[in-house]
Amino acid sequence: MRREIRRSLPGLACLLLAGCGGWQSAMDAHGTSAASLKQLIILIVVVCSVVWMLVMIALIRALSRERAPRTAPVDVDAERVRRMSVFISAAVAATVIVISGFTVTSFFATRRLSVAGPDDLTVKVSGLQWWWNVQYFGATPAENFQTANEIHIPVGRNVRFQLEGDDVIHSFWVPSLAGKQDLIPGRPNELSVRAERAGIYRGQCAEFCGMQHAHMAFFVIAEPQADFDRWAEMQRQPAAQPADSEAAAGQQAFLSKPCAACHSVRGTAATGTSGPDLTHVGSRKTIAAGLFDTTRGSLAAWIADPQTLKPGNNMPMVTLSRDELLSVSAYLASLK
Name the residues that contact Cu ion, by CB under 5 A. Answer: 170, 205, 209, 213, 216
Task: Give 172's strand partners.
Answer: 181, 205
Task: Give 286's strand partners.
Answer: 293
Continuous H helices in 258-316: 259-262, 296-304, 306-309
Q: Give the binding-site size for ligand HEC (rule: CB under 6 A).
A: 32
Among 206, 275, 279, 327, binds ligand HEC (CB under 6 A): 275
CA angle 48, 54, 59 (to 5 degrees): 125
Is residue 191 near ligand HEC by the rule CB under 6 A?
no
Q: Are 130 and 289 in contact (CB under 8 A)?
A: yes
Is residue 303 near ligand HEC by the rule CB under 6 A?
yes
Is residue 289 near ligand HEC by the rule CB under 6 A?
yes
Residue 74 vs residues 69, 77, 82, 86, 186: alpha-carbon distances, Å: 10, 9, 16, 21, 66
Task: Annotate 7-42 with DSSP letters as a single string.
Answer: HHHHHHHHHHHHHHSSTT-TTS--BHHHHHHHHHHH
Is residue 311 near ligand HEC by the rule CB under 6 A?
no
CB of 47 to ligand HEC, least distance (A): 42
Is residue 315 near ligand HEC by the rule CB under 6 A?
yes
Round to whole Å and give the CA distance between 253 and 259.
Answer: 9
> H/E/C letters for each residue in 199-257?
EEEEEEECCCCCCCHHHCEEEEEEECHHHHHHHHHHHHCCCCCCCCHHHHHHHHHHHHC
Among 109, 125, 148, 249, binds ligand HEC (CB under 6 A): 148
Which one of Cu ion, ligand HEC, none interacts with residue 213, CB within 5 to 8 A by kind?
Answer: Cu ion
Is residue 314 near ligand HEC by the rule CB under 6 A?
yes
Is residue 130 near ligand HEC by the rule CB under 6 A?
yes
Stretch that binds ligand HEC, among 9-17, 33-41, 166-174, 252-260 (CB under 6 A): 252-260
Which one of ligand HEC, Cu ion, none interacts with residue 318, CB within 5 to 8 A by kind?
Answer: ligand HEC
Among 124, 180, 213, 257, binds ligand HEC (CB under 6 A): 257
One character per residue 154-173, x = contact with ligand HEC (rule: CB under 6 A):
--------------------
Cβ neighbours of residue 247 closer than 8 Å, sequence gap 6 or more: 327, 330, 331, 334
Round to whole Å and give the CA distance between 203 and 222.
Answer: 13
Is residue 132 near ligand HEC by the rule CB under 6 A?
no
CB of 107 to ligand HEC, least distance (A): 38
Is residue 205 near ligand HEC by the rule CB under 6 A?
no
CB of 287 to ligand HEC, least distance (A): 4
Q: DSSP code of 184? A: B
Q: Are 264 and 271 in contact (CB under 8 A)?
A: yes
Which one of Cu ion, ligand HEC, none interacts with residue 205, CB within 5 to 8 A by kind?
Answer: Cu ion
Per CB under 6 A, residues contacting ligand HEC are 130-131, 148-149, 254, 257-259, 261-263, 274-276, 278, 281, 284, 287-289, 299, 302-303, 310, 313-316, 318, 320, 328, 332
